[in-house]
A and B are shown apart, each in its own frame.
Chain A
Amino acid sequence: MGEKKLVAVQLSGGNDYLNCIIPYDNPLYVDNRQHVRITEDRVLDMGGGLGMNPVMSGIKELYDEGKVAIIHGVGYPDSSRSHFRSMDIWHTAEPTKLGAEGWLGSAINQMYPAKDNVVAAVNFAGLLPRALAAPKAPIASVSDLDTYGLMNHVDNSERDEALLAFKNIYMPAIGSGLVMDYLSQTGLDALKGSGIIQKAREDYKSDVEYSDDNFSKQMRAASAIIQADIGSRILYTQHGTFDSHTNGIALQEGVLANVSTGIRDFYSDIKASNKGDDVIMFVFSEFGRRVKDNGTGTDHGAGGVAFVIGDSVIGGQYGEYPSLEPHKLSIGEDLSFDIDFRSLYTEILEDWLETGAQDIVKGQYEKIGFLRN
């Protein structure tokens, strides 16, 4: 087995749990979802009265092969219905105060204290998510793998020369003072990282034909980086929007289909390159949505569902599907949580990335046991 790698998949906007893993024969589901309901004839049946959203056939296949852990009822106390705040909480593992450091950025700092691995974490999610932000953590942020690189705006014919000149400008600056040294080292790291990543892109070969949506592009890029074995341990992707206030079913199914297909293709791709054991995917969203629909969609809620996917995962369902009984709902309207998201983080950090969890999640949380030993 090679170095273990984590692919984070962020479903931005609040994924509707009830229409993702569907309790199709629960009368309370039918009552509450008069307008925004997936009917029994459409679900991909999982048994026990639950079924997956019909667009999730890719994930369903993997689930049937025992590669998917479904974590029911994930959340945190006093759930915030604000996208930003709730995502912040997931990113920083700080539900009660504003945290500044991201859980994965902190993990990188713990794993590489010498900060010598310039591609330890690679972000494909556009703006650097706070999950990856931590002081001085070297994070490579790749907006588009096909064009990524230092001085990517320079014509091909001139770029090599320009990069050499860049290096020639930066090398002599080392040793000219603390701040200049730091700037210059970072500049050289950026140059190195961008070279490594471009090389990975050039070497990447695959028989898998990914879709051309934005999510599949990110997963394809993640696969290229993983296959190149350049020392990247955390790869961060995101897709959205899942914010289905109106046009609920069509909106969610559109993006969920991208995610399911992208994950299925990615899995086949890394499997074909014999890296299946080295990679897990962790899929999460900032919250689930309101139990009762609003006529055309659903508003923000609380408890949600997370997935951990890969050959090193013990497939199955973990935790209980949250009750839809009115008195069991969070503030009378939302699904409650049963599993604190910091339990997932603890298991991923300690048993997968093999780094301490306590300083990051700031406490002790019981692991769930979805990883093979």
Chain B
Amino acid sequence: MTTVSNKQDLALMAHLLRRAGFGATPAELDRAMSLGYDAMVDELLNPDHDDNVPFDKIRRWRKDYSDLRGPGGAPGGIWMYRLIMTDTPLREKMCLFWHRLFATGHTKLIQGRPVVRQIDMFRKHGMGSFDNILVELSKDPAMIMWLDNQDNHATNINENYGREILELFSMGVGNYTEDDIKETARAFTGWSIVNPIYNSIKMNNNVMRPFGYLSWQFQYNDDDHDHGEKTILGETGNWNGEDAVRIICKNEATARFLARHLYHFFVADEPPVPAWPMVEPRDPEAIDALVNAYFESGHDVKSMLETIFKSDFFKAESVRYARIKSPAEMVVGTMRLAGSIDPLSNEANQAVDACANMGQSLLRPPSVEGWQGGTDWINTGAYVERVNFAGKILKNTDKSGIRDLINRVKAKSTSSTMSSDEFVDSCLEVLGPLEVTEGTSRGLKDYASKYGDLSWSDEASSTEFDKAAGSILQLIVSGHEYQMA
């Protein structure tokens, strides 16, 4: 029997799984409920195994994956496959988080492999200490080439990385000076990749010949490092890159910037990042709590995440459905609802294209500033894509996940029959449960009234029932509520 408190627990758990993952199938939700909220948070935060993605199989059978470039030249297919199939969803969601924050595109690098490797790096280090993440990022070959640090020399600095690590990756505008940028750039001189000239030429010429796409490797050139004294954010010494990161990370502005990004991504939409210096956070106390967690844990990202998921500000009703789903969340969440995909099929590539059609080309951000999210995701073209994509998948009653949803709707009645109103309510319940406005509920029920009482006592009526269920499910995911997480 569903009690009131049980129903509230269920809604909260569904909220957690939408935010810390990509939403839940009814079976996943049942399992989470049997674990309990705090235990579920702990499991999400501490994945104890690698998710099982058969790369060798994929590489042998799908040339477009194995080259890590999809049909449109986009290398996102292999990551998309993992996003859909993973059983460690928070770890994968953190990869999306860092990809948004440290947006790097194969557009400039021309090669997909280094960007895919960068995502692998996020998977490995993304829930550890922020200092370590920034050091790994500064050594990441894709990032080095993306922001030209191979051209940052002791004798002649290139400020690109020095600027962005302060502005976009750690502190935000207004918390450092132009001199800090130059001095930070000096600290990162000599942080390059193996054979940068050859790889730059290849990058610019965009040819696979003669040796195909190479695996880029980080290389620190001490000869090319500026060993002079530098002053970064008021601290003077013979600083190298690791020192710059250490100085940046102990700064409160860094903690606040990271806290606001995490809040924006996991709790509720904030305005676009460039507006942050001018606009107060939506919930300043939540930001304070996250800043405290940052310092108390020694800059540990996992501790900040734990603070979020176990806090009242996260559990509050006011932040439920307060984020517009990114295209990746929309696509991955919907695909996961429909059941598993075959690694040898083209479904992951199609999902990458669907994402791109909705405005988020994974591994191909519009600029170094990434995606701002929020209402930026929504325009008419994207909307048609979102509605049609989700509808098409939910309507496919051959998919195992959709069959399961329908069977669960049927299981809500013992008499093999239900009224059309009950039918709509049951469909909403198995989808999340998805809470909808009064207007939506009325619209759905008006539509479903054409079915009258539904039954599934024999094969013919059961087939009709499944078809009706497909229609209602696709209509539900066409609604504005399904756009929100």
Contacts and interface: CB of A to CB of B under 8 A. Distances in A.
Given A82-B206, A245-B207, A169 B356 contact: no
Nearest to B370: A100
Interface in B453-485: 471, 474-475, 478-480, 483-484
B446 interface: yes
Interface residues of A, number: 57
Interface string B318-337: 00000010000000000000
28 contacts: A81-B204, A82-B203, A82-B204, A84-B73, A84-B110, A84-B364, A85-B107, A130-B366, A135-B376, A137-B379, A139-B379, A140-B381, A150-B388, A161-B447, A165-B444, A168-B443, A169-B439, A169-B440, A169-B480, A172-B438, A179-B324, A179-B375, A183-B324, A186-B380, A187-B387, A190-B384, A245-B207, A299-B207
A151 B376 contact: no
B282 interface: no
Contact of A179 (B269, B387, B444): B269
Interface string B83-126: 00000000000000000000001111010000000000000000
Given A81-B206, A153-B395, A299-B205, A183 B471 contact: no
A186 B478 CA distance: 13
A300 B106 CA distance: 18
Interface in A227-273: 245
B437 A176 contact: yes
The interface size bin for chain B is 35 or more
Contacts of A193: 380, 384
Contacts of B391: 151, 153-154
Contacts of A183: 324, 378, 480, 483-484
B359 A187 contact: no
B395 A123 contact: no
Nearest to B440: A169
Contacts, number: 164
B67 interface: no
Contacts of B364: 84
Contacts of B73: 83-84
Contact of B392 (A128, A143, A153, A158): A153
Given A179-B375, A183-B378, A184-B480, A190 B439 contact: no
B341 interface: no
A173 B438 CA distance: 9
B387 A151 contact: yes
Interface of B: 72-73, 105-108, 110, 203-207, 269, 324, 353, 356-357, 359, 361, 364, 366-369, 374-376, 378-385, 387-388, 391-392, 395, 437-440, 442-444, 446-447, 450, 471, 474-475, 478-480, 483-484
Nearest to A183: B480
Given A151-B391, A172-B437, A180-B480, A166 B383 contact: no
Given A127-B353, A162-B471, A300 B206 contact: yes
B475 A162 contact: yes
A194 B106 CA distance: 33
A133 to B, nearest CB: 7
